[in-house]
C-alpha cells in the first residue's frame, strides 16, 4: 500500500496481524505451563546427544568427554536419561559446594519466587542483595571486610577477573600485569591474557612453585624460595624490562593448571613483595572459595589478605553469580565505569546466601580439610602400587592425580583420558587438568559423606588399572 493512503483505507484492505495479542493480560494465567513432551527418557538420550552435536558450537567441552544426558540430580548423584546413576566429582567445575539441588538452596530460591520479588533489578538495592552481601562480608578475611567494597559483575568468573584487572589498572594508572605459569583465569580476552596458555599480551609470567615439576628442578621450600626471589629480582632490576605493574593475580590453588597448591610461606612472601612496592594483589578464588580447600578461602591457609578477591562459582549456590571484593582505596571508578545488565541475579544471591551460611554454620570447610586429607592419603597408598600415578596432590576437596609414563615420568594424557572413561563406565564423573591434561581432578561437593568418599575411591581405584591395561 502507498504511504499516503488514509488510515481508514489501510484498515479496510489489510488483514489484522496474526498471532499478536490484542490485549495484554493483567493477571497471571490460571493454567500451568506444559512441559515439552520430549523430556527425560522419552526424549531418547542418543537423539539428544546427536542433536547437541549438530546444533552446538565446536567449542563445547564437557559434553565431549561426558556424553550423558542428566535429568535428575541430588547431592553427589546424577541420573541420566538412560537411567544410569553417576557419582559427580566434577560438581559443576567446582560450583556446587553443597552438591546438586541441596534443600537449603531450593528453599531459598522458592522463597524468592513465591515472594513476588523482582527477578531482574540491574544494580538496585534489594533485601535479597543486602542479605547476600551481609553474609558474604561476615565470611571474608576480617581485615578486608572491615574496609571493603563489592562490585557485582557479569554472571561468570571470567567477568569478575576482567573487572578486577580493570579496577587495578584504573586505580594505579598502570597497565602491566603479573601472573603465573600454569594459571587459568577464564576465557574472555583479558582473563586469557593472564592465563598460562596465551601467546601474547601485556602480562609478565612468573614461576609458580610446585614440587612434582618444579621449574627450578628442586621442589619443596627451596623451590618456592627461588620462585619468590625470581619475582623480587625481576621487579627491582632496572634492566629487567618489567615496569611496575598494575597488579599481580594468583590462584591459591591452581585448578585447571593441575591442582597445584601455593605453598603458604611463598604466598606470604608474594604478599610482602607486592605490598612493599604498592602492587595490588588479586586473589582468584573462583575455584578455591567457600570451603573448597579446607578453609573458607584459599588465602586463609597462609593468613594472607589480598587487595582484591575474585569470587564466583560456589558463591551463587549453583546459579550464575560473580563479584569482586576489594579495598576501598581502590574504589576510584566513576559511575557506570563497569556495568552489566545481569549483575542483579536475585535467585543466585538467595541461593548464594543460603550456601555461604550453610557452609559456615556446619563447618564444612573443616570437614573438607579432614576428609580431603583422608582421601589424599588413600590415593597416595594407591599410587604406591601403580607406577603410572606420578603424584597425588591438592588441598581439602580439591584433589589431583597426575598420570605419567612409568618408564619416562613424562605426562600421560592418553592414559588420563582412559582413566576418565573407565571412571565414567563405572558411574564416576571426573575431569582432567594440568599442562598436558594428564591430571585427573576430583571436586566432590563439601557435603560428601564418608560412605560416598569410599565409593568414589573404590571406583577410581578400579578404573586406573583398567585404563593402564588398555592398548594405547
* Tens digit of each residue's pLDDT (9 = 90 or more) over 43-100: 588 899 999 999 989 988 888 888 999 999 999 999 999 999 999 999 999 999 999 9
Q: Residue written as cell 557506570? A: 336
Q: What average pLDDT score do residues 443-456 get? A: 97
How large is the greatest C-alpha to C-alpha distance in the chain, in angstroms? 89
Locate all alpha helices (DSSP H) within 103-156, ordered by sequence.
103-115, 127-139, 142-145
Give the residue among 418, 291, 415 at the shortest CA–CA distance from 355: 291
* Tens digit of each residue's pLDDT (9 = 90 or more) over 138-157: 999 999 999 999 999 988 88
Q: What average pLDDT score do residues 122-142 get? A: 96
Per-residue pLDDT at 127 exceeds 50: yes
Q: What stretches of 31-174 adopt beta strand conformation (E)?
A: 70-74, 77-80, 85-88, 148-152
* Tens digit of each residue's pLDDT (9 = 90 or more) over 335-346: 988 888 888 899
Give the residue among 236, 258, 252, 363 at the shortest CA–CA distance from 309: 252
Q: Can you spell out the DSSP letters for 181-228?
A: TT----SSHHHHHHSTT-SSSSEEEEPPP-STT-TTS--HHHHHHHHH
Region of poorest pLDDT, from 130-139, 195-204, 319-328: 195-204
Q: What average pLDDT score do residues 275-293 get? A: 97
User: What's the pLDDT score for residue 336?
Assistant: 87
- Provide the whole-model pTM: 0.89
Amino acid at each position: 500500500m502507498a504511504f499516503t493512503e488514509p488510515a481508514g483505507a489501510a484498515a479496510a484492505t489489510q488483514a489484522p496481524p496474526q498471532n499478536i495479542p490484542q490485549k495484554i493480560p493483567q493477571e497471571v494465567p490460571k493454567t500451568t505451563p506444559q512441559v515439552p513432551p520430549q523430556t527425560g527418557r522419552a526424549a531418547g538420550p542418543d537423539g539428544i546427544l546427536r542433536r547437541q552435536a549438530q546444533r552446538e558450537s565446536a567449542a563445547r567441552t564437557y559434553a565431549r568427554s561426558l556424553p550423558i544426558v542428566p535429568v535428575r540430580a541430588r547431592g553427589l548423584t546424577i541420573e541420566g536419561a538412560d537411567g544410569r546413576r553417576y557419582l559427580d566429582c566434577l560438581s559443576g567445575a567446582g560450583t556446587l559446594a553443597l552438591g546438586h539441588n541441596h534443600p537449603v538452596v531450593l528453599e531459598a530460591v522458592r522463597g524468592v519466587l513465591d515472594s513476588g520479588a523482582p527477578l531482574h533489578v540491574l544494580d538496585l538495592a534489594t533485601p535479597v542483595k543486602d542479605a547476600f552481601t551481609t553474609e558474604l562480608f561476615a565470611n571474608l578475611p576480617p581485615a578486608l571486610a572491615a574496609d571493603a567494597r563489592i562490585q557485582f559483575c557479569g554472571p561468570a568468573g571470567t567477568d569478575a577477573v576482567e573487572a578486577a584487572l580493570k579496577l587495578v589498572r584504573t586505580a594505579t594508572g598502570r597497565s602491566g600485569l603479573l601472573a603465573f605459569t600454569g594459571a587459568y583465569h577464564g576465557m574472555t580476552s583479558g582473563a586469557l591474557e593472564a592465563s598460562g596458555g596465551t601467546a601474547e599480551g601485556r602480562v609478565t609470567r612468573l614461576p609458580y612453585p610446585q614440587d612434582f615439576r618444579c621449574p627450578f628442578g628442586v621442589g619443596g621450600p627451596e623451590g618456592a624460595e627461588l620462585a619468590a626471589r625470581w619475582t623480587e629480582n625481576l621487579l627491582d632490576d632496572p634492566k629487567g624490562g618489567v615496569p611496575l605493574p598494575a597488579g599481580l593475580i594468583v590462584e591459591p590453588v591452581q585448578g585447571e593448571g593441575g591442582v597445584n597448591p601455593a605453598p603458604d610461606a611463598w604466598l606470604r612472601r608474594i604478599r610482602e613483595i607486592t605490598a612493599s612496592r604498592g602492587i595490588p594483589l588479586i586473589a582468584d578464588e573462583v575455584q578455591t572459595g567457600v570451603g573448597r580447600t579446607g578453609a573458607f578461602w584459599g588465602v586463609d591457609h597462609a593468613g594472607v589478605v589480598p587487595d582484591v578477591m575474585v569470587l564466583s562459582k560456589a558463591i551463587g549456590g549453583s546459579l550464575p553469580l560473580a563479584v569482586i571484593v576489594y579495598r576501598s582505596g581502590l574504589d576510584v571508578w566513576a559511575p557506570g565505569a563497569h556495568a552489566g545488565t545481569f549483575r542483579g541475579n536475585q535467585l543466585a544471591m538467595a541461593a548464594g546466601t543460603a550456601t555461604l551460611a550453610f557452609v559456615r554454620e556446619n563447618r564444612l570447610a573443616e570437614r573438607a580439610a579432614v576428609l580431603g586429607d583422608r582421601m589424599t592419603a588413600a590415593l597416595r597408598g594407591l599410587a604406591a602400587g601403580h607406577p603410572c600415578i606420578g603424584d597425588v596432590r591438592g588441598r581439602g576437596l580439591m584433589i589431583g592425580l597426575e598420570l605419567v609414563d612409568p618408564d619416562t615420568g613424562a605426562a600421560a594424557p592418553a592414559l588420563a583420558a582412559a582413566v576418565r572413561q573407565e571412571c565414567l563406565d563405572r558411574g564416576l564423573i571426573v575431569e582432567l587438568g594440568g599442562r598436558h591434561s594428564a591430571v585427573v581432578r576430583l571436586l566432590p561437593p563439601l557435603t560428601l559423606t564418608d560412605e560416598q568418599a569410599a565409593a568414589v575411591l573404590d571406583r577410581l581405584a578400579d578404573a586406573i588399572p583398567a585404563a593402564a591395561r588398555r592398548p594405547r
